[in-house]
Amino acid sequence: MEDYRQIIDDALRSFIQKQPDENMYKHMEYFLGFRDEHLSEVSIETGKRFRPLLTLMIANDYGGYKKALSAAVSIELFHNFSLIHDDIVDNDTLRRGRKTVWKAFGTHNAINSGDAQLLLACRVLLEDEALEASTVIRLQTYLLEKYQMVAEGQALDFALAEKSFSDEVVNEETYRMMTTKKTAVLIGAATAVAGIVSQKSEKEIQLLYDYGTELGLGYQLYDDYVSLWGTESATGKQKFGDIIERKKNLPALYAYQKASAEGKQQLLSVYEATNPLAREEVALVLNLIEKSGAEAYMKETIEKQKDRIEHLRNDLSLSKETNEYLHKLESRLLST
């Protein structure tokens, strides 16, 4: 897996450094771990790279990873562009244990660098001379469709954030729809493009997409879990950040569903206020979540998701070795 990560990092660095010598490209490199806050070259692990890693691993099993490299780079660039903008929206000052781009270089630079990174994500495939034109067109069309779905998921996330817990559309079903589009679709794309460049059957490509999408949903469920029951050193994020940002993640939705009338009112009072949360309010929300049994529910939900993921993985026409590698990756990503 580390070999794949190095291949991905080398490809990312090489593609960005082909661009003009402008600070906005160096801001991208900072976020990717290739530069420090002073924009000097370094090499810091700032992400799992598991989306492009999935692409290369599966494509290599099908016959070779090189034909999938530009698609993998596109997906990683798009993913990181979306995170740069997410940090601005959420007012997050830390990402992966380092200052976020807006915090380090200013909001204006973060917006512009993010926009430019999105353009690079769309360009990289067009510059891959090793791929046939028909394959480039198919990949570009497929990925742009998935990238658009991610934006739709982000819009749904905004809409849910503006609604009250008491609104009938604020529920687990809507949450899963939002999460699928915002997070899971991109992981589904990462697995599916390996099948597309390898000219696998439509059935196999669909299985790949379903596998990646279910893995992505599981990953988001796990992220919701560790946001409350993980450590800041392990996540690289602010402790109880989801509560502080008043996110209606699954533990919070479950807590509201299970709360007494008084508990529901307390959650509404905290989440519908506009002031920054005091420590006591964070503690109140955390207590309501704990009392609801949300931790046990999240663990149970994640275990069920693992079963769905395993079933789909075993339906793929992968070698035993790759199947085992994927299983290990799932265990690392979804271990509660």
Residues 240-281: tens digit of each pLDDT: 888 988 999 999 999 999 999 999 999 999 999 989 899 999
What is the domain count for the chain?
A: 1
**Tokens 């919701």 identify what position?**
224
Residue % of the chain over a pLDDT of 70: 97
What pLDDT, on the 0 to 100 scale, is given for residue 66?
95
**Per-residue confidence at 45, pLDDT binned at 50, 70, 90?**
confident
What pLDDT, on the 0 to 100 scale, is given for residue 230?
83
What pLDDT, on the 0 to 100 scale, is given for residue 233?
61
Token pair for residue 83?
């995170």
Residue 308: left (phi > 0), alpha (psi -120 to 50), or beta?
Answer: alpha
pLDDT in tens, 107-164: 999 999 999 999 999 999 999 998 999 999 999 999 999 999 999 999 999 999 899 9
Residue 110 contacts residue 27 (beta carbons within 8 Å): yes
What mean pLDDT comes out for the span 4-11? Answer: 96
The pLDDT of residue 75 is above 80: yes
Residue 123 contacts residue 116 (beta carbons within 8 Å): no
pLDDT in tens, 179-230: 999 999 999 999 999 999 999 999 999 999 999 999 999 999 999 999 899 8
Residues 6 or more apart in contact with residue 264 via CB below 8 angstroms: 165, 166, 256
What mean pLDDT comes out for the span 92-110? Answer: 94
pLDDT in tens, 276-307: 899 999 999 999 999 999 999 999 999 999 99
User: For residues 131 and 137, what is the distance between their CA atoms, to the nearest angstrom?
Assistant: 10
User: For residues 114 and 77, what is the distance between their CA atoms, to the nearest angstrom?
Assistant: 9
Q: Supply the DSSP string of 104-133, one letter for each residue.
A: HH-HHHHHHHHHHHHHHHHHGGGG-TTS-H
Query: What is the average pLDDT score of the chain?
Result: 94
The pLDDT of residue 324 is above 90: yes
DSSP at 1: -
Exposure string for 184-220, b = 16+ CB within 10 A, e = fewer: bbbbbbbbbbbbbbbebeeebbebbbbbbbbbbbbbb
Query: Distance between the two ends of the chain, CA-based, in angstroms?
Result: 22
User: For residues 140 and 304, what is the distance between their CA atoms, to the nearest angstrom?
Assistant: 34
The pLDDT of residue 12 is above 70: yes
Domain ranges, residue 106: 2-333
User: For residues 316 and 148, what is the distance between their CA atoms, to the nearest angstrom?
Assistant: 27
The pLDDT of residue 237 is above 90: no
The pLDDT of residue 239 is above 80: no
User: For residues 56 and 62, what is the distance between their CA atoms, to the nearest angstrom?
Assistant: 10
Chain centre to alpha carbon of residue 55:
15
User: For residues 90 and 242, what is the distance between their CA atoms, to the nearest angstrom?
Assistant: 10
Q: Supply the DSSP string of 158-194, one letter for each residue.
A: HHHHHS-TTSTT-SHHHHHHHHIIIIIHHHHHHHHHH
Residue 306: count other Cβ atoms within 10 Å of its Cβ: 21
What pLDDT, on the 0 to 100 scale, is given for residue 291?
95
Q: Is 19 helix (H, G, I), strand (E, B) or coil?
A: coil
Cα–Cα nearest to 253, from 182, 210, 301, 218:
301
Distances (CA, A) of 198 to 50, 58, 65, 66, 215: 20, 10, 9, 11, 21
What pLDDT, on the 0 to 100 scale, is given for residue 1?
74
Cα–Cα nearest to 214, from 72, 76, 334:
334
DSSP at 67: G
Q: Where are the alpha helices (DSSP H) in the chain?
A: 2-17, 23-32, 50-62, 69-90, 101-105, 107-123, 133-162, 172-179, 185-197, 202-229, 232-235, 241-244, 250-258, 261-272, 279-292, 294-315, 320-333
What pLDDT, on the 0 to 100 scale, is given for residue 235?
61
Instruction: State the CATH number of the domain containing residue 150.
Output: 1.10.600.10
